[in-house]
Amino acid sequence: MTANYYDFHTPIGTLRLVGDESAIDRIELPNRAAKAPDAAWEAADGDLPAALAETKRQLEEYFAGERREFDLALGAGGTDFQQRVWAELRRIPFGETISYGELAARIGNPSGSRAVGQANGANPLPVVVPCHRVIGHDGKLGGYGGGLPTKQALLDLERKALAR
């Protein structure tokens, strides 16, 4: 099945959703969504494939401060280690942060904070798999594929929604 893509505007900029009827495979943050799409992807014209439409709906709710968890069919691959890291990311509560070291300990690899950081960097579904909630042990933001201003904007959005 051919992957479709759809670009839509959010408070953090234009996101590109990539997937098909059954699952969302990728979410590209504004810095990547601004580039030309992969030649293997087809633009979603007219009605969006079911998984893209549902992802868009849930992201709109998230950005409006109305959604704190996502319930989507995720099609992203990854190594066993990456899958463990990404599953644990989804357990970090909305509006909270943990350190890379704490995340490594949670998956049973307490000395693996660097590997956890690499798995975060390879996360194909940012926002939905909330790697933005992981920060350095010193409380600083650390790296983020979408850039530190985007990471900060996501954290601020969640904290603001919690304060309502």
**Catalytic annotation, residues:** 131
Q: Are 11 and 63 in contact (CB under 8 A)?
A: yes
146, with CB counted inside 10 A (0-12, 13-18, 19+), is buried
**Count of CA atoms in the C-beta half-sphere (13 A) of 120:** 30
Output the six-digit token pair for 37.
Answer: 């799409």
Nearest to 7 by CA among 54, 63, 56: 56
